[in-house]
């Protein structure tokens, strides 16, 4: 795998075990309980990715206000975008899944690909250091910003969904915590977005904010909000 990933990422890879873990979905542990999933690396990679993107935006757009920079960052690091990058890199081929997840098409699922991409960033950071990861993200993620802005994808899904529901339905969406998953040091959140008493969609993330955003993105897609 080292040779494949070295060629794919264009960086020197040394610790194969880190990447093996990065590609280990939690479902794999159902059949191999003594192994470790990629969730901790995902937690780390998420923070590293956000820092590098934030630093780039801060330096590149000195005249942009905080709100606009936040929208740009959200577009770059949102799950759907990361899943698209992961799919283009064909990361799904390296995933370690349970037999059930394999049969259900886990290698193509957007949320699994997005989480795996973040885990890979975490592994890359531990294996090669900050500068190498920064170079990779500058090549793989940041050049896409202009396209995202041009398509209007930098608009936050929560804001977009709220504007739509208030204008079309006269209702303001709200978010409820459905479930907290995992230990305190590696917790994930499941949030639901509702219109009144009706649940529209659910989202998952490493924070409540990210889970809400994921739920909003799914609601936007479900209702065909432009």
The token pair that represents 87 in the structure block = 């799919």
Question: Which residue out of 39, 42, 46, 212 is catalytically annotated?
Answer: 46
Question: Which residue out of 39, 42, 101, 118 is catalytically annotated?
Answer: 118
46: annotated active-site residue:
yes
135: annotated active-site residue:
no
Q: Which residues are catalytic?
A: 46, 118
């Amino acid at each position: 795998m080292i040779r494949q990933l070295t060629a794919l990422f264009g960086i020197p890879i040394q610790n194969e075990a880190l990447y093996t873990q990065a590609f280990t979905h939690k479902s794999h542990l159902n059949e191999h309980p003594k192994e470790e999933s990629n969730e901790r690396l995902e937690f780390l990679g998420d923070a590293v990715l956000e820092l590098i993107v934030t630093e780039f935006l801060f330096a590149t757009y000195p005249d942009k206000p905080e709100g606009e920079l936040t929208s740009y960052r959200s577009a770059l690091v949102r799950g759907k975008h990361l899943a698209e990058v992961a799919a283009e890199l064909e990361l799904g081929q390296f995933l370690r899944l349970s037999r059930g997840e394999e049969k259900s098409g886990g290698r193509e699922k957007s949320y699994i690909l997005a989480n795996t991409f973040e885990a890979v960033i975490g592994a890359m950071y531990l294996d090669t250091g900050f500068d190498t990861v920064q170079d990779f993200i500058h090549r793989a993620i940041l050049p896409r910003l202009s396209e995202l802005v041009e398509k209007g994808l930098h608009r936050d899904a929560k804001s977009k969904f709220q504007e739509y529901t208030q204008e079309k339905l006269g209702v303001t969406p709200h978010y409820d915590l459905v479930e907290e998953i995992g230990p305190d040091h590696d917790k994930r959140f499941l949030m639901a977005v509702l219109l009144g008493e009706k649940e529209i969609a659910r989202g998952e993330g490493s924070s409540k904010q990210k889970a809400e955003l994921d739920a909003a993105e799914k609601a936007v897609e479900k209702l065909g909000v432009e």
